[in-house]
Amino acid sequence: MDPDLVQVNPGLRMIAKILANSLWGKLAQRVGGTEVKYARTPAEFHQLIDDPTIETLDFDHVSEYMDRCVIRKKEEFSKPPETNCLPVAVFVTSYARLHLYKYMEEVQQVNGKLLYCDTDSIIYVASRGAGYVVEGEALDK
């Protein structure tokens, strides 16, 4: 990639960030999450309750014509998505964490106080006139 050809485009940057975050999330998607199902007939309700592959965590008779069920696939029937690639997901998150630690150390070097950090951002305060953590517009800048 030629840095001289890179142009500022906030919309495209936002789309790229959303797509990248979605991709990395798919590489380590959790198995066995809960799901909410609605049954409109007694037969549908009993089909959910009696299904041997699912665990009913909660249900509520919302109205005379509808029941709300919170379910989860039993562990022995859950399969990880084919998109999962745990080694890549572990590497990416570990590398990002190490990169974030560098910025956390910079906050300490300017005698700042770290208030919050996430996978891609830090929030800190520092005394007026003190140094600051250098920001960049691209990875590792």
Q: According to the model, what pLDDT value does residue 104 have?
A: 92
Q: Give dist(CA 101, CA 114) in Å, integer.
A: 12
Q: Which residues of 22-58 are buried (b: 16+ CB within 10 A; e: fewer)?
A: eeeeebbeeeeeeeebebeeeeebeebeeeeebeeee
Provide mean pLDDT across the span 35-45: 94
The whole model's pTM is what? Answer: 0.55
Report residue 25 as tokens. Answer: 């999330």
Are 60 and 48 within 8 A, CB to CB? no
Q: Is the pLDDT of residue 139 over 60?
A: no
Q: Give dist(CA 103, CA 126) in Å, integer.
A: 14
Q: Give dist(CA 90, CA 4) in Å, integer.
A: 33
Where residue 141 falls among pLDDT bands split at 50, 70, 90?
Answer: low
Using one digit for the tens of pLDDT, what is the confidence trace for 69-120?
A: 999 999 899 888 888 888 888 888 888 889 889 999 999 999 999 999 887 7
Nearest-CA neighbor of 138 among 15, 22, 1? Answer: 1
Provide mean pLDDT across the span 2-21: 85
Q: What is the share, in percent, of the chain residues with pLDDT greater than 70? A: 96
Q: Could you tell me which residue, 1 or 48, shows the higher pLDDT?
A: 48
**Quick one: how far is CA 24 from the chain centroid?**
9
Residue indicated by tokens 């630690």: 101
Q: Give dist(CA 85, CA 121) in Å, integer.
A: 25
